[in-house]
């Protein structure tokens, strides 16, 4: 069987028009009309008062957000626990102190109850860095209210959640600083790349200054602070412009995949799909399943997942089908073993979901027949 990927790029053709123009005009370097156009078109798509800055990676966007928030060595930052490490690594770049906040079960995102407890323990914290997991919006009303009560800035990592909505508002527009990713596996891609979205234009302009090596406005190379080489290439921005034309189409195809899995497992009550909140519209970037503890088996010492997760992964891999474990929570990562971890009531939700959850193939080029095969292989594992 031809390899079935978890989520691979899907090109449409319009991307080449923008790329060709960059070649025809010999505008290959960072900055340029494609970068400008991509930023403007993203702002229009989000329908929100944000100012966009196209960058070389989502991680770079998050790093510039942490810089903009003024984090210095030793400052406490309250972070999503169950996420990819790129959400929280930029805090380490600036010497901040991570405190990881557990997930809730309704969306697998940062738990507002745990966040409130974290502020009670760390009232000096002035920054919250949270992610929307797998394109599923978090409990934004509650999180924003808690941040406001404590005078804290919110960085919203919407790397996985472009086009998702919370109560009719697009993810990536809630925080003072917000980050998107266009990595190869995301809902749209520029092959690599990301975007910073700022509420204030002055913050966006300062981030641009830092992203272009913090070069001062002088006729010679003058630098008064440390800068970075984070600007997006005009060529890959052209890919993004072509991809953005198909974003809502991609989201609809992702939702159809999620619903086919849900229908396929409806006679297996011990399997549930990754949940989402009422009044939200996920982008269904990755469809994930959670296996009831009664069917999960023992937790294996290597890696920390349950036996059934390993069994399913191996069965699908034998048919050249890609899967992935749920993000291993940050408080379980050796590099962050000394960081504090706050739960709502002592139950470690993130660890539980990691142990018995799995990400399923969610490639929008996957045929119904291929997805049916995935479902049948999974069923056979029980």
196 strand-pairing partners: 53, 179
How would you write 297-366 as a 3-class SS string? CCECCCCCCEHHHHHHHHHHHCCCECCEECCCCHHHCHHHCCCEEECCCCCCHHHHHHHHEEECCCCCCC
C-alpha to C-alpha distance for 190 and 245, rounded to whole angstroms:
13
Of 190, 215, 244, the one marking the end of a domain is 244
Same domain, 375 and 251: yes
Cα-based distances in Å from 87 to 66, 80, 226, 374: 11, 8, 22, 30
On whether residue 255 sits in a domain, the answer given is yes
Same domain, 258 and 300: yes
CB-side exposure of 374: number of CA atoms within 13 Å? 32
pLDDT at 29: 85
> What are the residues whose beta carbons fall under 8 Å from the beta carbon of 243, sequence distance 6 or more?
11, 12, 15, 182, 188, 189, 190
Residue 104's CATH number: 3.40.640.10
On whether residue 30 sits in a domain, the answer given is yes
Closest CA to 291 of 325, 255, 332, 330: 325
Give the sheet arrangement for strand 153-157, strand by strand: 51-55, 194-198, 177-181, 153-157, 127-131, 76-80, 97-101, 340-342
Same domain, 26 and 112: yes
pLDDT at 291: 98
On whether residue 302 sits in a domain, the answer given is yes
Query: Beta 51-55 vs 76-80: how paired, if at all?
Result: unpaired
On whether residue 70 sits in a domain, the answer given is yes
Same domain, 258 and 364: yes
> What are the residues whose beta carbons fall under 8 Å from the beta carbon of 166, sequence distance 6 or more?
137, 138, 140, 174, 277, 279, 280
Residue 335's CATH number: 3.90.1150.10
Same domain, 36 and 126: yes
Supply the range of the domain harboring residue 257: 247-380
Same domain, 299 and 235: no
Query: Beta 288-291 vs 357-359: how paired, if at all?
Result: antiparallel
Of 220, 244, 268, the one marking the end of a domain is 244
Same domain, 214 and 361: no
Same domain, 254 and 193: no
pLDDT at 287: 98
On whether residue 8 sits in a domain, the answer given is no
pLDDT at 9: 97
Of 244, 266, 283, the one marking the end of a domain is 244
Same domain, 206 and 294: no
E strand or H helix that includes residue 271: strand 271-273
Same domain, 238 and 277: no
pTM of the model: 0.97
Same domain, 239 and 253: no
On whether residue 5 sits in a domain, the answer given is no
Count of the separate structural domains present in the chain:
2
Which residues of the chain, if any, have pLDDT below 50?
Answer: none
Query: Beta 165-166 vs 280-281: how paired, if at all?
Result: antiparallel
pLDDT at 208: 98
Same domain, 238 and 285: no
On whether residue 68 sits in a domain, the answer given is yes
C-alpha to C-alpha distance for 274 and 327, rounded to whole angstroms:
13
On whether residue 261 sits in a domain, the answer given is yes
| Inter-axis angle of helices 112-121 and 140-149, nearest 10 | 20
**Backbone Cα Rg of the chain:** 21
């Amino acid at each position: 069987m031809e390899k079935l990927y978890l989520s691979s790029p899907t090109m449409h053709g319009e991307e080449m028009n923008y790329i060709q123009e960059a070649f025809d005009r010999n505008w290959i370097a960072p900055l340029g009309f494609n970068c400008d156009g991509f930023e403007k078109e993203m702002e229009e798509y989000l329908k929100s008062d944000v100012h966009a800055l196209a960058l070389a990676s989502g991680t770079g966007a998050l790093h510039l957000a942490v810089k903009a928030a003024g984090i210095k060595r030793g400052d406490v930052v309250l972070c999503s626990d169950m996420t990819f490490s790129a959400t929280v690594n930029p805090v380490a770049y600036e010497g901040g102190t991570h405190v990881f906040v557990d997930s809730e079960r309704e969306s697998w995102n940062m738990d507002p109850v745990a966040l409130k407890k974290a502020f009670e323990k760390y009232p000096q914290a002035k920054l919250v860095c949270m992610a929307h997991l797998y394109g599923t919006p978090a409990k934004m009303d509650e999180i924003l209210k808690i941040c406001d009560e404590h005078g804290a800035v919110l960085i919203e990592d919407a790397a996985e959640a472009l086009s998702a909505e919370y109560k009719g508002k697009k993810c990536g527009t809630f925080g003072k600083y917000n980050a998107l990713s266009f990595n190869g596996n995301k809902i749209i891609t520029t092959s690599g790349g990301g975007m910073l979205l700022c509420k204030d234009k002055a913050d966006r302009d300062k981030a641009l200054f830092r992203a272009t090596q913090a070069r001062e406005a002088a006729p010679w190379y003058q630098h008064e602070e440390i800068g970075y080489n984070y600007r997006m290439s005009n060529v890959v921005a052209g890919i993004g412009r072509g991809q953005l034309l198909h974003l809502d189409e991609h989201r609809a195809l992702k939702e159809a995949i999620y619903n086919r899995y849900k229908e396929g497992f409806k006679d297996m009550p011990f399997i549930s799909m990754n949940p989402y909140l009422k009044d939200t519209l996920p982008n269904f970037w990755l469809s994930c399943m959670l296996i009831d503890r009664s069917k999960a088996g023992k937790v294996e010492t290597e890696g920390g997942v349950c036996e059934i997760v390993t069994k399913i992964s191996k069965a699908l891999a034998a048919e050249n089908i890609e899967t992935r474990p749920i993000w291993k929570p940050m408080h379980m990562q050796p590099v962050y073993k000394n960081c504090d971890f706050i739960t709502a009531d002592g139950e470690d939700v993130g660890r539980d979901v990691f142990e018995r959850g799995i990400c399923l193939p969610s490639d929008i080029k996957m045929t119904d027949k291929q997805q049916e095969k995935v479902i049948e292989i999974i069923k056979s594992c029980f």
